[in-house]
Structure formats: structure tokens, C-alpha cells
Amino acid sequence: MIIVYVIDSYGEFSNGTTMTAVRSKQMLEEMGHTVRVVSISSIQGEEYFQLKERNIPIVSKWSATQKTYYAKPDVNVFRRAFEGADVVHFFFPWKSAVVAAKVAKEMGIAVTGSYHYCPEHVAYGSGAGKILMPVAWILYKFYKRRVYKYVDRVHCPSPVMADKLRQHRYKNILHPITNGVGHQFFVEANRPYNPEEFQILTVGRLSLEKRQEILFKAMKYSKYKDKIKLVVAGQGPRNKKLRKLAKKLNLNVTFGFYSQNELIEIIKKSDLYVHTAEIETEGISVLEALAGGLVPVLSNAPFSAPGQIFALDDRSLFELNNPKDLAEKIDYWIEHPEERIKMSKKYQDSMQNFKIDTAVKRLEEMFKAAVHDVKLNEFSKEESNRKYLKKLRPNKVGHFFVRIFFLLIYPLFKLYSYLFGGLRIIGKNNLKKVKTGAVIISNHVHNLDSLMNACATYPRLSVYTSMPGNFEHKVYGPIITFFGTIPTPVGIDETKVFINEITKKVQRGRFVLIYPEGNLVYKNEDLQRFKKGAFHVAQNAMAPIIPARISFLQIPKKNGKFKKRVILNIGEPIYPSYYMLRRDSIDDFMETSLAKMEALKVEEYK
């Protein structure tokens, strides 16, 4: 493939995003792809295309202190860079990305984006912190409407960032893909216990959201303050303030900005890693430290990905804004050297799933999926596929009346099912956890099981699927057609169109009900073998699977008779793997879903 990176500043190694761009470019080229770069960088070469720097009054001067620069869009440069390209990928949601996406769309080229620079960075980068959080909320909405509406697939460096976008109702297909850690960081470090000195490393930009001052203040409460040496690796606008604070607290601190090889040597010599960030979309420095065998102590901030993802137990988590709690965690690891050595190996092993080669392969999969989307959209429009495509796209006017009918009639059906059909729904709150689209999988054991699932999802109108033959039935054929049920595919061509359209429905926030068993076996107590279709759709849309299982019970009464109960048990949503490749993830998706469905069987109900 020919991949084009649109990244305003390239080759600036003071932040993780540009480092990620450089490393992924190198690895993609080693995999046989061509990667062009459009930026303001002065790097020369036929794969580099230069834009002029854009000067934004006040903003540019302030952003420069954060090592953030802006490019002035140039349509002619974009057209030259995009010639013959398969996919265009932008890193930052600035004006250059908007123009680049429009040009690429006009040229019929797939476009993807990243969400590295989140709006919270703006609030904290300004020095105002939480005071400007309402501005961050506005920026989420602004970026969604101005930039990300041009792309279907977005790379998020962590599930935490993806969850944030889901909260703000982004309709993109979100790919949580780690930026990855290089093999060179997986070192065998001999860290003998030194009773005289204990070295703590922290790495990151010296800015407000990284909250390094919490670590400094924690030293006041540590029993081992006099033997602790802090190594602060990074640079940024709070450099002077942090040096002044360290001096005031009389701490043994070394500040520096280190090359990769120098940083690896520091990791080898350190005993503990501390990360105090309040805002962190992933934290490459954390991955690198853990790959080097350092045991971490991480902030438990809700929007700090390292604490949410990498901590193996509570001993590696501290309460944000609580220096005393951080000091207690540091003292624990100092006092338990044998436990620290044991956990060092566990943390290093946990990083095997986050190696950069796997991360870049997953990024490659996202690029290929975006290219495939463009081809499938064109394929679906071909004359031979239009008839089937029309069946997958119910009339909008008809859909409006179906929704009104659904809202009015389903409460009555639900009441009837409860009183006379014995229907009981368990776990409906698990549906409320999903604010985006999802694939609901259910066992196929009753002619009305789709209506039972509809009672659970009410008032959300789901998309239902059914075998083509059911549409020919004289009684329920017109009914399922009226409710917008869509026919499952027959043949390879229809399957391609089906998955493409269903993916779009899930992407736009719809629940789609699919029976992975395929065939209806009336009141079957055991699960049939699953087919992969539902899991392909969920993986393609990077959406959760919601398992639902129907059980039939006969509950004995005191008079010797039985009362019938139909139990619909809904499980917790299952999300695609954060680190597996597509094929492995689909298999894992199916196996995990099958196990969850087995556990949802209800044997008794009061």
C-alpha cells in the first residue's frame, strides 16, 4: 500500500505522537509499504512533502511552548502527495487535516485519523487545568463536526480514549490500538538491593496535566526520603517551576532530556517507576519502563490510561492528588524488595502484548479495512447488488412510522408477555452500559424470540435479521418486513454487501440482533455451534457483543401444577481485544461470547 501521513510537525521527539509517527513509518516500510509524510518538517526526500508553518495569533506562540506547531494547508501539495495513494492518515485534528481529508475524498482515497491530542490537553496546556474543562467539552463537539465526520475509522491509543469518544457520541469506528513499545526496551536488568539509595524514575513532558509535583510532595511523607533519588526525564513549560519546588523541598532530583539509549540505561539502573499524570491517552513512557522490568506506581485518575490498563493490582495504584497515599505505596515497594523483583517479571511479561510490531500490524489492518470500505461501497452500488442493497435499507418514511408503532405497541406486547407469556428479563442494565451501536447475539429457540429481545432493548429499535425464506411466509413474512427486518445473505457477493451495511448501522449507533446459531431449534436447552458472521460484523465495526440467552422454566406450585417462565438473561458487553490481530480477535470474540452465553443459562427463578 501507499500510505500518506498528514502530521503538522514531524520529527519532533518531545512528544509521544511524533515519535509514534516516526516509528510506525519505519516499521510499515519494513513490511513493504510506502509511507509518505506531509508536514512542516524540513526533512528532505522524495517521500516527504513540505507545508508552510501556519501562524495563529496568540495560539501559535503559546503552543510552541508545548512543542506543538501548525501547518498551512496547501491543496496542490496534498494532491501531489496523494497521487496513487491507497489511504491518507492524519494525526492531529487541525485545519490541515480537514483540507487533506476533503482532497483525499475527492480523489476517491480512503481516509483515517488518530485521536492523540485530546481536548483536555488544551485545558491543561493553557495552565488553567480543570477550570477550562467546559472548553474541552466544546472542543470534543467541535472536532467531531469539523474533522472526524470525514473519516469512518479512527485510531485511539487506548480503550480509555475510545470510551471518551463514545461518551461524546462519536459515530466513528474506533480502533483502540496501542502505540507499542520497541523490542530494545525489553532488557534483562540486574537490580541488586542497595540499602543506601533507591532510584525512582518518572518520564513525561513537564506540563500541568502530568502532575509531577505530586511525586515531589510525596517525598515529605516518605520514611525513606533521604535515600530516594528521583530521575525526571522530560522537558516542557513547567521545567523551572518543578526545579524550584525540588530545591524548596530539598530533594535529590536529576532533571534531563535523554536519548533512547540513555533512557534504557536509566531504566536498568532504576528501582521503581512513578507516573502521576491526570490526563494520559496511553503513556508510551509507561510501556517502555514496564518493558524494562520496572514495577510502577500509577495515578488512578479516570482519564489516565496507564492506571486503568497496566496496573496488575492496587499496590501499583495511588489516589490522585494524594501525595501521602503515593508515599505509602513507594515505601511499600522499598520495604519489600523480594516482592518487587517478583512483580518486575510479571510486569515485563504483561508488556509482551504491547510490542510495537504487533501494534503496527494492527494499524496496518485498520488501513486495509478503510481501503476495503471504499471498495465495498463501490461494489454495493453495482447494478447486480442494488436489489439486495435496497432490502438492507428500509424506506426512511416507513421507518419513521415503524418507530412510532414500535413505541406505542411494544409496551402492550411486553405487558402481555409478562402477564400471560411468563417473560422475565434479567440484566437489562447491561444494555444501558452501551451508548453506541452493538451486536446482540441470542440463542434461536422460539418464533417470537426477536420480539422478546425487542422488549429488552425498548425504547431502542434494533435491527433484526432473518433467513430469506421467512419473508415469503404468508403470515409473518409481511410482519417482519414491516418492522424493517433484513434478510441474511445468500452467496459471497451478498455477504460482502451485508457485512458492509450492517457495519454502518452499528457504526451509526444501532443495535443489531444476530443469531450466531443460525437455525431455530424450538426450546432447545443447549447452545448450537456458533457461526462467525456476528463476530465478523462486531470486529469490523469495533463494537461490543451483547450476549442474551433465553431459558424456559417450569416452576412448581403448591397445588402440584407448574407455572411457566421464559427468562431472557442479558450479559455484560464484550469488547474486541485491545492487542490481538483481527483473525485472533474474532476467534477470541467467539470463544469468549460462547462461554458467557453458557453462563447465562438460568436453571431456577423465583
Q: What percent of the chain has pLDDT over 90?
A: 58
How large is the average pLDDT for residues 483-498?
85
DSSP 337-383: HHHHHHHHHHHHHHGGGGBHHHHHHHHHHHHHHHHHHHHHHHHHTSH
> If you average pLDDT over every residue of the chain, what do you get?
88
How large is the average pLDDT for residues 281-285?
89
Give the C-alpha distances (Å, rounded to integers) separating 228 from 245, 321, 328, 589. Answer: 16, 21, 14, 46
The Cα–Cα gap between 408 and 401 comes to 11
Kindly list the strands in the beta sheet with 438-442, ordered across the sheet, starting from the edge strand earlier in the chain.
423-426, 562-570, 545-556, 438-442, 511-514, 463-466, 486-487
Q: What pLDDT shows up at residue 66? A: 62
Give the 3-state secondary structure of residue 7: coil
pLDDT digits over 228-246, tens only? Answer: 999 999 988 889 999 999 9
Give the 3-state secondary structure of residue 436: coil
How large is the average pLDDT for residues 82-96?
95
pLDDT digits over 103-139, tens only? Answer: 999 999 999 999 988 888 776 665 555 666 778 888 8
pTM of the model: 0.87
Closest residue by Cα to residue 147 from 108, 104, 110, 100: 100
Q: What pLDDT shows up at residue 351? A: 93
The Cα–Cα gap between 304 and 60 comes to 27
Q: What pLDDT shows up at residue 207? A: 85
Q: What pLDDT shows up at residue 390? A: 83
pLDDT of residue 537 exceeding 60: yes
pLDDT of residue 53 exceeding 90: no
Least confident window among 174-178, 290-294, 465-469, 592-596: 465-469
Q: What pLDDT shows up at residue 13? A: 61
| Total residues belonging to the chain | 606
The Cα–Cα gap between 40 and 9 comes to 6
Alpha helices in 49-158 (DSSP H): 59-64, 75-82, 95-106, 119-125, 133-146
Q: What pLDDT shows up at residue 561? A: 72
How large is the average pLDDT for residues 254-260?
92
Judge residue 244's burial from the number of C-beta atoms within 10 Å of its C-beta, 0-12 exposed, 13-18 middle, 19 or more buried: exposed
Complete domains list, the chain, with CATH: 2-179+358-370 (3.40.50.2000), 183-354 (3.40.50.2000), 382-599 (3.40.1130)
pLDDT digits over 412-434, tens only? Answer: 777 777 776 788 899 999 998 99
The Cα–Cα gap between 293 and 300 comes to 21
Q: What pLDDT shows up at residue 310? A: 93
pLDDT of residue 566 exceeding 70: yes
Least confident window among 40-49, 512-521, 549-558: 549-558
